[in-house]
Amino acid sequence: MTAIPISAPAKSQPAIKDGSMLKQKEMISGNYAKLENAAAEGRKVVSTFVPGNLNELIMCFDVLNNLPEINAIQNGMRKKTGGYIMEAEKRGHSEDVCTYVKADLGMIEKGNIGPDGQKLPDPNLLLLSYTGCFTFMKWFELLRDHYGCETTMLHVPYQGDGNITPTMIAYVVRQLREEVIPKLERVSGVKFDIDRLRENLARSARAEEDFVWVLNSAKARPSPIDAYFGGVYYIGPIFTAFRGTADAVEYYRLLREEIAERLARGQGPVTPSGDMGPERYRLVVEGPPNWTSFRDFWKMFHEEGAVVVASTYTKVGGIYDLGFRHDPARPLESLAEYCLGCYTNRNLPSRIDIIERYMNEFEADGFLINSIKSCNSFSAGQLLMLREIERRTGKPAAFVESDLVDPRYFSPANIKNRLESYFQMVEQRRAGAAARAA
Amino acid sequence: MSTVAAIVERCQALFDDLDFSAARAWKAAEPGRIVVGFMPFYVPRELIHAAGGLALGVLGGGDQLEVIQGDAYYQSYICRIPRSTIELGVTGRLDFVDAMLFPSICDVIRNLSGMWKIMFPKVASRYVDVPQNFSDSVGGSFYVSELGELRDILARLAGRPITDDALRHSIAVYNENRALVRQVYALRSREPWKAPSAEVYLLMRAGMVLPVEEHSAMLADYLEAAANQERPRRDNSRVVVTGAFCEQPPLNLIKSIELAGCYIVDDDFMLVNRWERSDVSTEGDPLAALSHAYLHDSLETAAKYQPDQSKKGQWLIDAVQRSGAEGVIFASASFCDPALLERPMLQKALAARSIPYIAFKFAENSGQMQPIREQAGTFADSIKLWSAA
Ligand code: SF4
Ligand code: SF4
């Protein structure tokens, strides 16, 4: 799981030609261009993961941010990952493990050519913010094995009992102070300035406010957004190298304006085929999408008039709609709370509570899980989730299986069949409920 | 003195008993006793002992448990141990367990801790987080605080405080047990024909269900009996088996490796029995002592971060050298992310020292041993050829 298509290839992009989309494209290509020129311009590069990323802190050291998951997603959408995964498996990586890791390692083995066709720079520092998934730690060790560069790890405790304790915050803050910041200072040669961090955090909070407004717009009927397929574009800047930048503030301002207009006009979401037809089903979706057939997958929904009104995947890099904001008044504590609060760092009962809340607040007709073979962090326990949500809400739930970036595990016919029967089931339930009410 | 056969027979009976009758009997023997289950690989069992409780290792269902309901909770691409553990739970086999502890080992067990809260709301369940930062002032202070919370939970459950003195005593009891465990492993690595791996395995499994004092007595008996028993020495190759630190291989798999011509001279089954490499201090603050041992003197496994790249895999090299092994067998549970992601890094470290290895996967309920026997047999032969060359 854990990342977003900050820029899809042109043909896969939804047909939004709005200012926000152009802005995002510009931001992403700008970041890749910076990464490609890093060596020539003497800029240092930090590789780090999406959930629990410390972008506001990283920015304080004038270093660039490279996110392996994003590269895997981008390559997945460009259908390059199948080959990379095979390459990694040929080199001894098990077929059983997370394909993000293999897509990344395969890409590195084949010359480390990034999604836009240019060579990615070797990192000067590996910064592991270890949140919500054990695989990150192994992935990070595998990268360290390859690059042999400086490393630093931020261990974020798990919310085993469903809450954040002062001990957890103190532990994370102490690691930031004693390990992460000194390492960033050393690698970058820039001294840490907490006021700079505060400014970045203030910008994050502004963007987060608009982002949450956009997510909540899906409470309207029809929903002006698709909070899963469309949502993965909306999370791009805030989950990655842009949180805390003026660009991100501007992006979310533009996005909010655009969605507000759609809302005012009573329009539904934009899809790759243009405006979606009438809204027939409102769904909550758990789990990451498949990237190698992202467009086909989405089509199976929008062609049926199914709109996703809330999704958990758009919370892997931070949950903002439950109230959290980065707080310049408590800079390090606030970073700690952010890391601790990412979706898969919450225990299963909390995850189920969040989904139940979405089901109710967004008036969903049903719940769907896209179970990802790669991702134990998301997937282990989803069948219990399914039962619980059905039991608590009385709404029909369904389950499809695919993978993130391994095309071998995307079976369109199977998924389509399942979805069609599911939509029929939703219809029948609705008819039953209407008959009972009459 | 018991004979080896008698000891092993007792262990086998404990191993086969999926109803945990011995632990049930222990609990029933005195009112107010508590039983605390834990999953692989590590929990601070001293705290349970100091609460007057029994630490019960729940290591899956093996190849004898028919998993029916547990399968309905997991997709096909997830390992076996969580589903058989759920099966043990929903079939009432763990209904005498007062609390379950889920160690910080992987996302599957982590999520299972939450499933347990939902499925068995009357059982206290706790995810036992351990630091991945190994400095005393950072990871250590976090861990001491976690241990303190666990101590409170167990004290509430037991209905009595866990004093520092009680805890120091429990540490001493476990130190004794670990010392005996180390002796058994040392005997096996010195004279593997005297302590066959299937026996050692059963002996260690007994430690998952018996009170620690009883287990220590059993280990001492075994050491004496095994040393005095003559057994034929075979011309086997010496191997370390690694990767099975969580879901356990079927007993037949261990037997098959030895029958195929390999003496297992070290392994990572049930790390909890020897997690701390030397005695934990019985002086001063006992929580600080447990934390110190965790941070600075514990075994390595895939679930634990190695901050120093130059030391990556060194523990395996050390295990090979210490035990005089000639090769390594990577035996990992299918779909075990930590073991399988770790494997290439360990293999690289072995290759750099020209230590031969093979790899296969298993499930706790694997029935067909022929391919494994063939693979291990070929490996044993190739080691001999290689060392003769
Ligand atoms: S296991 Fe899941 S969360 Fe972890 S890296 Fe892979 S896809 Fe991301
Ligand atoms: S066998 Fe591996 S993946 Fe499965 S629960 Fe154990 S450590 Fe986790």
pLDDT at A9: 41
Residue nearest to atom 6 of ligand 2 (CA): B246
Q: Give residue-wise pLDDT tens across range A199-242.
A: 999 999 999 999 999 999 999 999 999 999 999 999 999 999 99
In chain A, the N- to C-terminal Cα span, in Å, equals 44
pLDDT at A434: 83
> Once rounded to an integer, what is the mean pLDDT over residues A324-337?
98
Mean pLDDT score of chain B: 97
State if residue B58 touches ligand 2 by the CB under 6 angstroms criterion: no
In this structure, is the dihedral angle defined by the CA atoms of residues A106, A110, A116 and A119, taken in order, positive or negative?
positive
Question: Mutation test of the interface with chain A: which of B39, B83, B107, B308, choosing the one with the most A Cβ atoms within 10 A?
Answer: B107
Q: Which tokens in the block code for residue B261?
A: 């011509």
pLDDT at A15: 46
HSE value, Cβ hemisphere, 13 Å, CA-based, for B3? 5
CB-neighbour burial class of residue A122 (10 A; exposed 0-12, middle 13-18, buried 19+): middle
pLDDT at A130: 81
State if residue B369 touches ligand 2 by the CB under 6 angstroms criterion: no
Chain A residue at shortest CA distance from B358: A92
Distance from the alpha carbon of residue A90 to the mean position of ligand 1, in angstroms: 21
B115 at A interface, C-beta within 8 A: yes
pLDDT at A283: 98
pLDDT > 50? residue B41: yes
> Once rounded to an integer, what is the mean pLDDT over residues B66-91?
97
Q: Give residue-wise pLDDT tens across range A264-319.
A: 999 999 999 999 999 999 999 999 999 999 999 999 999 999 999 999 999 999 99
Q: How many CB pairs under 8 A join A and B?
A: 165
Q: Give residue-wise pLDDT tens across range B180-195.
A: 999 999 999 999 999 9
Chain A residue at shortest CA distance from B347: A92
pLDDT at B23: 98
pLDDT at A116: 83
Residue spans per domain, chain A: 19-437
Mean pLDDT score of chain A: 94
Q: Give residue-wise pLDDT tens across range B305-314.
A: 999 999 999 9
For residue A2, give the ligand 1 atom closest to its CA.
Answer: 8
pLDDT at A17: 62
Range of lowest pLDDT (A65-79, A341-355, B343-357): A65-79
State if residue B246 touches ligand 2 by the CB under 6 angstroms criterion: yes
pLDDT at B384: 87
Question: How far B340 CA lies from chain A's nearest CA (Å)?
Answer: 6
Q: pLDDT band at A115, cuts 50/70/90?
A: confident
pLDDT at A325: 98
Distance (Å, rounded) from C-alpha A12 to C-alpha A77? 8
Contact between chains at B145 and A167 (C-beta distance less than 8 A): yes
B361 at A interface, C-beta within 8 A: yes
pLDDT > 80? residue A3: no
Percent of chain A beyond pLDDT 70? 96
pLDDT > 90? residue B204: yes
> Once rounded to an integer, what is the mean pLDDT over residues A138-165?
96
ipTM: 0.96
pLDDT at A8: 42
pLDDT > 60? residue B95: yes
pLDDT > 70? residue A438: yes
Q: pLDDT band at B387, cuts 50/70/90?
A: confident
B80 at A interface, C-beta within 8 A: no
Question: How far A2 CA lies from chain B's nearest CA (Å)?
Answer: 14
Percent of chain A beyond pLDDT 90? 89
Model's pTM, two decimal places? Answer: 0.96
pLDDT at A299: 97
Q: Give residue-wise pLDDT tens across range A31-82.
A: 989 999 998 999 999 999 999 999 999 999 999 999 999 989 999 999 999 9
Question: How far A397 CA lies from chain B's nearest CA (Å)?
Answer: 15
State if residue A98 touches ligand 1 by the CB under 6 angstroms criterion: yes
